[in-house]
């Protein structure tokens, strides 16, 4: 079961402490860049807000709650832990988390080959 | 954590909700743990609690709680279709049906439960189904397509959920229940009766006290169910939902202790009778009880993890209170809903015309709440649950907890003046009493109270009011009220303002580095963004500021529920040239935008996608329009009546004055939105007294009113100064706005701000009119700086390639966002509902609306 990596954008397409949205096989994925380190602090989660039922997560504000790095949904402001995808306010809501890495100047998202 | 004696290999049998939670918790607590997951289903864990949403269009992927990739990235080995049918306890090896073997140091059984199907003759044929897995639902969907009538056997919680699914699928739906009432576990007889009535009103037929004796071929339908007695019912399909049984086969076959009526016996650490084997979730039996809800299962998972890593968290039982909506009917059940506790007494309220039933059960002395039943209206659930879980002392007349409020008097100002029954949050039905109960139960921080009561987690419109109530209550209890804006800054908004100004701080990062901690959040970032804007007035999409803005500010539009934006060009004073109207009309037509006139005398265009915004604004700007800042905590509009120019009664040119002040303060960022209006005479057609700043013309000049507002708690503005000339009027307003911007709390409108100033209106007059603080000149100078550096943010944005890039919908594709779907209503677009999205009818393809 190996991971297949897909180039989705360049590192300079990311906006520091903010999000962009990539389309991968019809799936919308929100990619966030936290902090200024060149290849750290990149997170990829589902773009679909399960509460607001709209594809908007990438337009949320990044922040921290305790030591968790979170994004606040722009619609109803609930927070998702970017590392686990879990919603802080209602743990039964969850965003899928995607493996993400930087290769050279490319940002890559991983999907499973099953 | 004693990782030295942490077992090296942990095998988890079953990857349901609880099994998955165990894996997640263990991985988090001990990333090095070697975990092997054996899932009996063809897929990894999914959200069974929301299984029914599969019928409303949720895909298996969307229900998934994990993915193979995620488990891979955690280093968790996983196998699907791996049904374990053998345990060798001595050799510590498990074997799957297909013959694979896995050795373990510790084994975790998370095998859940299976639907109980009563052994009625004829139950075992096609179109007789159960409701537990995604495969079951696929089967039901297929069978429903070939059926007209469907029966659910079992009128419990799951049965009613299943009935809803059949009804949604368009079948004539029946529920057959053996007991004399519905939901016999959670509800009392009265509640069950009312629920039955309500459900029958919705078109589902309920048959109680019916025992099915056989299922035979039908005459008009596929089957005929014969009941004891000589009743029968014809149906095309049957769904069994007659309870669950723990999946304890492994324990039975391999000699782990099980309960008399099934279930794998566990202790507080979730250990079975074999110290190397744990059982968690619905297969486990603790103190002779099975817990058929997911939350207790999660608690068990955490207890087992804790024991594995040497911690001391134990499973100590769980509260089984439930609140849910069944077929659209609100139902709540708390604790001892059947009043089985010796000496228990109950109070009942029933409102048949409205279909509401409420009961509370209290102890012998009426001191504490033991249980409750709510049907038709569960708005008191949260409060009652607080009472019962925390044994909060009941009020003298406990029935007031469920009786409709008779408080007639409108609440006056201030949190203290509100009665306990005042609704603070109408989204989640939280009253002041709920909040007080929460504080009494020991929660004293704002975030905690929010998450306990859910207050202010819906539309958020009550945040300021909630904060007032909480602060007032805490102060009463002698708790020091921290005015900290959030966990990242131990300062109030006003203090941050001073820090930024005095230390000439220009970016959020500098402020955070010097005075804060963590990364910031959606509370402090926009607040600081606003302070920076009203202090230095840089372009808000400047690189350093972009990440601070709420989405509305980042994309310079108001985000709507479907993620599209609305566009509001400024029309100062509500004045617009025909050419302007025509241009707006053309844009609305070409982009198929929903068009509406706002209360602020301008036009709002809805349904623009983020990538269309720059294009649309380019056209508006070319036609002479500017941004209306409808998205910002800033000046919105200055409403006006037509004034002396046209009106027979007008005494001053109110439109001219409105345009002048709107152009002066446009773009000014503030703790909250700001509204103004100018009326041309005392008839007050512009409703200036409902605005933060209102101006009313007099024979001799202008009267100035301040701190009014409409909205949730309307308030008339106070008369501030009379018969001013224009120059003095502007001077006072400059000072007033800047003083407000400097000293108000986040999201505090002018009225609340003034009420919280010691000395109130008189103090404010002193500062603004008499310059008692000696800051008037400074306030005016700061306002002049903001006025002089005004820029139309949209103009700046469309002219700058970098800014425009931000509006790309996808970084890697030019494709349109196909999740945005509209339907037509009254000749215009509106967002499609979830149901409409699935039904595919009359959908307007949003992708063809772009004419570019
Ligand atoms: C339609 C529906 C609605 C529900 N609604 C709610 C609700 O609103 N609130 C609530 O709290 N709860 C609700 N529940 C109950 C909730 O889903 C369960 O409490 C929860 O799923 C229990 O989790 P579990 O992991 O113990 O069991 P399960 O989720 O049943 O998972 C057990 C897994 O183990 C597998 N398995 C069994 N035996 C073996 C074996 N020998 N080898 C390998 N794998 C095996 C099974 O195939 C299954 O995948 C609902 C359930 C249903 C069906």
B482 three-state secondary structure: coil
B547 contacts in A (CB within 8 Å)? 15-18, 61-62
Structure tokens given for B467:
């904060």
Facing residue for B551 by CB, picked from A15, A55, A59: A59
**What's the mean pLDDT in A51-65?**
93
Which SS3 state, helix, strand or coil, does residue B729 take?
A: helix
Q: Is B681 labelled as part of a ligand binding site?
A: yes
Give B-chain residues touching A84 at CB under 8 angstroms: 24, 28
Q: What is the pLDDT of residue B640?
A: 96
Confidence category of residue B5, pLDDT binned at 50, 70, 90? low
Size of interface A-B (CB pairs under 8 A): 136
Distance to chain A for B78, nearest Cα, Å: 10
Chain mean pLDDT for chain B? 88
Spatial distance between the Cα atoms of B752 and B740, rounded to a whole number of angstroms = 11
Dist CA B478 CA B471 (whole Å) = 10
- Tell me if B810 and A23 make a contact (CB, 8 A cut-off): yes
Tokens of B670: 């503030």
Q: For B631-654, what is the mean pLDDT?
A: 93
What's the helix, strand, coil split of chain B in %, to 5? Answer: 35, 20, 45
- Backbone torsions φ then ψ of A22, nearest 5 degrees: -115, 155
Q: Which two tokens stand for residue B366?
A: 């009426």
Encoding tokens for residue A14?
């990311």
Q: Which of B376, B373, B307 is nearest to B344 (CA)?
A: B373
Tell me which architecture the domain covering A4-111 has in CATH. 3-layer Sandwich (2.102)
Average pLDDT over residues B480-506: 83
pLDDT, tens digit, 9 for 90 and up, residues B337-379: 999 999 999 999 988 888 899 999 999 998 899 999 999 988 7
Q: In what order do the strands lie in the sheet with B9-13?
A: B77-79, B34-38, B9-13, B106-109, B277-279
Q: How far is Cα B800 from Cα B580, in angstroms, rounded to an integer?
A: 25
CA distances from A52 to A33, B52, B239, B379, B836 (A): 23, 18, 32, 22, 16
Distance CA B625, CA B603 (A): 12
Report whether B128 belongs to an annotated binding site.
no
DSSP at B648: S
Alpha-carbon gap, residue A66 to A77, rounded angstroms: 17
Tell me the HSE value of B848 on the side-chain side, using a 13 A CA sphere. 4
Write phi, then psi, for B367 (nearest 5 degrees). -90, -45
From B354, B346, B348, B408, select the one nearest B377 (Cα to Cα).
B354
Task: Average the pLDDT over each of B461-465, B608-612, B748-752 and give the range with the smallest value.
Answer: B461-465
List for chain A the helix, strand, coil content (%; round to 5): 5, 55, 40
Give the residue carrying structure tokens 């709507």: B560
Contact B16, B113 (CB under 8 A): no
The distance of Cα B506 from the centroid of its chain, to the nearest Å, equals 34
Contact in structure between B704 and B729 (CB atoms under 8 Å):
yes
Which of B99, B76, B98, B88 is CA-nearest to residue B12?
Answer: B76
For all residues of chain A together, what is the average pLDDT?
A: 90
Q: What is the CATH number of domain B9-114+246-308?
A: 3.50.50.60
Domain boundary assignment for chain B? 9-114+246-308, 128-242, 319-413, 415-479, 493-549, 635-791
The answer to whether the annotation marks B425 as part of a ligand binding site is no
Inter-helix orientation angle B157-168/B134-145, to 10°: 40
Beta strands B329-335 and B322-326, pairing class: antiparallel
Q: Could you give the CA distance from residue B125 to residue B418 in angstroms, rounded to a whole number? A: 62
**DSSP output for B144-157:** HHT-SEEEEE--SH
CA torsion angle A35 A36 A37 A41 (round to 10)? 30
Ligand 1 mean position to B48 CA, how many Å? 6
pLDDT attached to residue B390: 66
Quote the CA–CA distance of A91 and A79 in Å, as a whole number. 10
B451–A89 C-beta distance less than 8 A:
yes
Q: Tens digit of pLDDT for each residue in B401-419?
A: 888 754 432 222 356 656 7
pLDDT in tens, B282-335: 999 999 999 988 888 988 999 999 999 998 889 988 878 887 778 778 899 999
Kindly determine whether residue A97 and residue B70, on different chains, have CB atoms separated by under 8 Å.
Answer: yes
Is B543:B506 a contact under the CB 8 Å cutoff?
Answer: no
Q: Cα–Cα distances in Å, from B140 out to B59, B136, B162, B163, B715?
A: 15, 6, 10, 12, 56
Closest CA to B330 of B380, B375, B372: B375
CA-nearest of B118, B778, B184 to B768 is B778
Interface test with A, best of B812, B821, B833 (most A CBs within 10 A): B812
Check B547 against A92: CB less than 8 A apart: no
Chain B within 8 Å of A41 (Cβ-Cβ)? no
Please tell me the CATH code under which domain B415-479 is placed.
1.10.10.1100
| E strand intervals along B44-121 | 77-79, 84-88, 93-96, 101-103, 106-109, 113-115
- A 59-78 residues with CB < 8 A to B: 59-66, 69-70, 72, 74-78
Residue from the list A28, A62, A76 with its beta carbon closest to the beta carbon of B547: A62
Question: DSSP alpha helices (H): ranges in B273-380?
Answer: 294-308
Residue located via tokens 């080995």: B77
Pairing relationship of beta strands B237-240 and B128-130 according to DSSP bridges = parallel
Is it true that domain B128-242 has CATH number 3.30.1380.20?
no
How many angstroms separate the CA of residue A96 from the nearest CA in chain B?
7
At B450, is the pLDDT very low, low, confident or very high (cuts 50, 70, 90)? Answer: confident
**Residue length of chain B:** 852
Q: Determine how many CB atoms are found less than 10 A away from the CB of residue B211.
A: 13
Here the tokens at position B477 are 């209890």
Burial of residue B293 (number of CB atoms within 10 Å: 0-12, 13-18, 19+): middle
Tell whether the model's pLDDT for residue B429 goes beyond 70: no
CA dist., res. B222 & res. B238, Å (int): 10
Write down the architecture of domain B635-791 according to CATH.
Answer: 2-Layer Sandwich (3.30)
Mean pLDDT of B13-21: 96
Mean pLDDT of B151-155: 96
* Residues B229-256 pLDDT 10s: 889 999 999 999 999 999 999 999 999 9
Instruction: Tell me if domain B128-242 and domain B635-791 are identical in fold.
Output: no
Return the minimum-mean-pLDDT range out of A82-96, B139-153, B438-452: B438-452
Ligand 1 neighbour B248 (Cβ under 6 A): no
What is the rounded distance in angstroms from the CA atom of residue B320 to the CA atom of residue B185?
11
Gap between the terminal Cα atoms of chain A: 5
Which of B764, B758, B760, B759 lies closest to B733, judged by CA? B764
Tell me: pLDDT of A36 over 90: no
Note the maximum CA span of chain A.
38
Determine if ligand 1 sits within 6 Å of the CB of residue B130: no
Burial of B486-502, coded b for 16+ CB within 10 Å and e otherwise, reads: bbbbebbbbebbebbee
Residue B91: exposure state from Cβ atoms within 10 A (0-12, 13-18, ≥19): exposed
Q: What is the DSSP secondary structure assignment for residue B498, as one 8-state letter?
A: H
> What three-state secondary structure class fits B97?
coil
**What angle, rounded to 10 degrees, do the helices at B524-536 and B493-502 form?**
40
Cα–Cα distance measured from residue B721 to residue B763, given in angstroms and rounded to the nearest whole number? 14
* Class of B319-413 in CATH: alpha beta
| B521 annotated among ligand-binding-site residues | no
User: Residue A24: is its pLDDT beyond 70?
Assistant: yes
C-alpha span between B662 and B216 (Å, rounded): 78
Q: Do B551 and A99 touch (CB under 8 A)?
A: no
- Interface contact B53, partner A, CB < 8 A: no
Angle between helices B760-768 and B726-743 in degrees, nearest 10: 120
For residue B567, what pLDDT is reported? 95
Say if the Cβ atoms of B563 and A54 lie within 8 Å: yes
Question: Nearest CB to B561: which of A24, A52, A99?
Answer: A52
- Main-chain dihedrals φ then ψ at residue B224, nearest 5 degrees: -130, 125
Rounded distance between C-alpha atoms, residue A78 and residue A72, angstroms: 5
């Amino acid at each position: 079961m190996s991971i297949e990596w897909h180039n989705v954008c360049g590192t300079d397409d990311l906006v520091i402490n903010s999000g962009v949205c990539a389309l991968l096989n019809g799936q919308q994925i929100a990619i966030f860049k936290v902090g200024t380190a060149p290849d750290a602090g990149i997170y990829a989660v589902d773009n679909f807000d399960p509460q607001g039922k709209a594809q908007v997560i990438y337009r949320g504000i990044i922040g921290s709650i305790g030591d968790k790095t979170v994004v606040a949904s722009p619609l109803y402001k609930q927070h998702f832990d970017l590392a686990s995808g879990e919603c802080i306010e209602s743990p039964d809501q969850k965003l899928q988390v995607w493996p993400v890495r930087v290769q050279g100047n490319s940002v890559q998202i991983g999907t499973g080959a099953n | 954590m004693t990782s030295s004696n942490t077992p090296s290999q942990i095998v988890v049998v079953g990857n349901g909700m609880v099994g998955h939670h165990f894996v997640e918790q263990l991985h988090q607590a001990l990333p090095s743990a070697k975990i092997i997951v054996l899932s009996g289903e063809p897929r990894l864990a999914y959200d069974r609690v929301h299984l029914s949403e599969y019928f409303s269009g949720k895909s298996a992927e969307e229900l998934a709680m994990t993915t193979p990739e995620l488990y891979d990235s955690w280093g968790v080995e996983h196998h699907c279709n791996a049904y374990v049918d053998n345990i060798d306890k001595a050799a510590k090896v498990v074997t799957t049906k297909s013959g694979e073997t896995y050795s373990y140091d510790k084994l975790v059984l998370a095998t859940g439960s299976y639907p109980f199907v009563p052994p009625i003759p004829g139950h075992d044929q096609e179109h007789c189904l159960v409701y537990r897995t995604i495969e079951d639902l696929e089967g039901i969907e297929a069978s429903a397509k070939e059926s007209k009538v469907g029966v659910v056997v079992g009128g419990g919680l799951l049965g009613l959920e299943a009935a809803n699914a059949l009804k949604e699928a368009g079948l004539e739906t029946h529920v057959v229940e053996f007991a004399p009432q519905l939901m016999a576990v959670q509800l009392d007889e009265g509640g069950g009766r009312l629920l039955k009535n309500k459900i029958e009103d919705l078109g589902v037929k309920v048959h109680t006290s019916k025992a099915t004796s056989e299922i035979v071929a039908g005459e008009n339908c596929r089957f005929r169910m014969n009941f004891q007695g000589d009743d029968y019912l014809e149906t095309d399909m049957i769904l069994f939902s007659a309870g669950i049984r723990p999946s304890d086969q492994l324990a039975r076959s391999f000699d782990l202790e099980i309960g008399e009526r099934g279930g794998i016996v566990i202790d507080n650490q979730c250990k079975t009778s074999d110290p190397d084997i744990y059982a968690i979730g619905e297969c486990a039996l603790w103190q002779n009880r099975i817990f058929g809800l997911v939350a207790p299962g999660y608690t068990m998972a955490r207890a087992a993890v804790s024991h594995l890593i040497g911690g001391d968290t134990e499973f100590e039982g769980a509260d089984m209170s439930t609140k849910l909506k069944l077929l659209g009917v609100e139902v709540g059940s708390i604790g001892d809903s059947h009043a089985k506790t010796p000496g228990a007494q109950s109070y009942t309220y029933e409102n048949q015309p409205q279909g509401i039933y409420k009961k509370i059960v209290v102890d012998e002395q009426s001191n504490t709440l033991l249980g409750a039943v709510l049907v038709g209206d569960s708005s008191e659930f949260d409060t009652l649950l607080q009472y019962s879980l925390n044994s909060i002392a009941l009020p003298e007349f406990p029935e007031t907890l469920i009786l409709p409020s008779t408080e007639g008097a409108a609440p006056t100002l201030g949190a203290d003046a509100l009665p306990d029954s005042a609704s603070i949050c109408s989204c989640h039905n939280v009253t002041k009493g709920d909040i007080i109960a929460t504080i009494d139960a020991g929660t004293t921080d704002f975030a905690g109270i929010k998450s306990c009561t859910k207050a202010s987690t819906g539309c958020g419109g009550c945040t300021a009011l909630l904060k007032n109530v909480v602060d007032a209550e805490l102060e009463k209890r002698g708790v020091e009220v921290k005015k900290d804006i959030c966990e990242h800054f131990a300062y109030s908004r006003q203090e941050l303002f001073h820090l930024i100004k005095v230390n000439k701080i220009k970016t959020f990062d500098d402020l955070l580095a010097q005075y804060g901690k963590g990364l910031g959040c959606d509370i402090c970032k926009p607040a600081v963004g606003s302070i920076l804007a009203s202090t230095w007035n840089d372009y808000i999409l400047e690189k350093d500021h972009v990440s601070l803005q709420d989405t509305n500010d980042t994309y310079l539009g108001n985000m709507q529920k479907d993620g599209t934006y609305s566009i509001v060009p400024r029309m100062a004073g509500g004045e617009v040239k025909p050419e302007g109207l025509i241009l707006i009309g053309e844009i609305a037509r070409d982009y198929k935008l929903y068009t509406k006139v706002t209360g602020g005398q301008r036009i709002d265009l809805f349904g623009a996608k983020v990538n269309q915004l720059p294009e649309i604004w380019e056209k508006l700007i070319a036609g002479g329009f500017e941004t209306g800042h409808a998205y910002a905590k800033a000046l919105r509009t200055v409403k006006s009546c037509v004034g002396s120019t046209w009106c027979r009664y007008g005494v001053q040119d109110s439109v001219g004055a409105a345009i002048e002040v709107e152009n002066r303060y446009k773009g000014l960022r503030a703790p909250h939105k700001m509204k103004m209006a100018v009326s041309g005479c005392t008839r007050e057609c512009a409703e200036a007294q409902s605005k933060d700043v209102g101006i009313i013309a007099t024979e001799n000049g202008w009267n100035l009113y301040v701190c009014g507002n409409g909205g949730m708690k309307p308030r008339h503005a106070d008369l501030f100064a009379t018969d001013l000339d224009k120059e003095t009027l502007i001077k006072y307003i400059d000072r007033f706005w800047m003083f407000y911007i400097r000293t108000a709390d986040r999201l505090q409108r002018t009225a609340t701000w003034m009420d919280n100033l010691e000395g109130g209106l008189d103090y404010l007059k002193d500062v603004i009119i008499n310059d008692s603080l000696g800051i008037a000149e400074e306030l005016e100078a700061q306002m002049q700086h903001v006025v002089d550096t005004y820029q139309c943010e949209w103009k700046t944005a469309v002219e700058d390639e970098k800014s425009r890039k931000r509006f790309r919908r996808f970084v890697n594709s030019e494709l349109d966002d196909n999740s945005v779907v509209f339907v037509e209503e009254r000749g215009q677009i509106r967002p499609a509902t979830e149901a409409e999205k699935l039904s595919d009818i009359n959908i307007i393809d949003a992708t063809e609306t772009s004419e570019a």
